[in-house]
């Protein structure tokens, strides 16, 4: 399932440890507007706003454009969920990456164990 723009913005902000106020200041928008965006109350923000958010949150501009339904010419079509995941975790340290991989292995093993028990 492709995440919404709001989900991507909130996750990007949280992964980078930014408060809504800090992220909105960096993007040059109000915290109230960022809140509306994160709650998907704004369906089609302007490309300028998306560009500012892209820079503030280190998420590829083209991915934000695609998520809001804008056409992005002459770029290969990439699954937006994958592109966003790559952007969210592009600045992981080696230790953070190793911890996430370890957690994912544990999580998958737990799910498999539950599935084998029928619950």
Determine the Cα–Cα distance for residues 60 and 91; give it in Å rounded to an integer. Answer: 13
Q: What is the pLDDT of residue 97?
A: 82
55: CATH: 1.10.260.40
66 shares its domain with 106: no
Q: Give per-residue pLDDT as tens, 24-66.
A: 999 999 999 999 999 999 999 999 999 999 999 999 999 999 8
105 shares its domain with 49: no
Q: How far apart are the first and last CA of the chain?
A: 24
Residue 80 has pLDDT above 80, yes or no: no
**pTM score of the predicted model:** 0.67
55 shares its domain with 16: yes
Residue 75 has pLDDT above 70, yes or no: no
Number of domains in the chain: 2
47 shares its domain with 104: no
Which range of residues forms the domain containing residue 102? Answer: 92-119
């Amino acid at each position: 399932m492709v995440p919404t723009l709001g989900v991507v913005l909130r996750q990007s902000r949280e992964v980078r440890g930014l408060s809504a106020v800090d992220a909105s200041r960096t993007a040059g928008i109000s915290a109230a507007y960022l809140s509306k965006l994160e709650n998907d109350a704004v369906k089609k923000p302007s490309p300028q706003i998306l560009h500012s958010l892209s820079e503030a949150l280190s998420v590829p501009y083209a991915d934000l454009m695609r998520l809001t339904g804008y056409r992005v010419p002459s770029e290969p079509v990439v699954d937006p969920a994958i592109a966003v995941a790559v952007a969210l975790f592009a600045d992981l340290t080696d230790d953070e990456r190793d911890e996430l991989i370890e957690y994912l292995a544990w999580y998958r093993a737990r799910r498999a164990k539950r599935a084998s028990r029928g619950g």
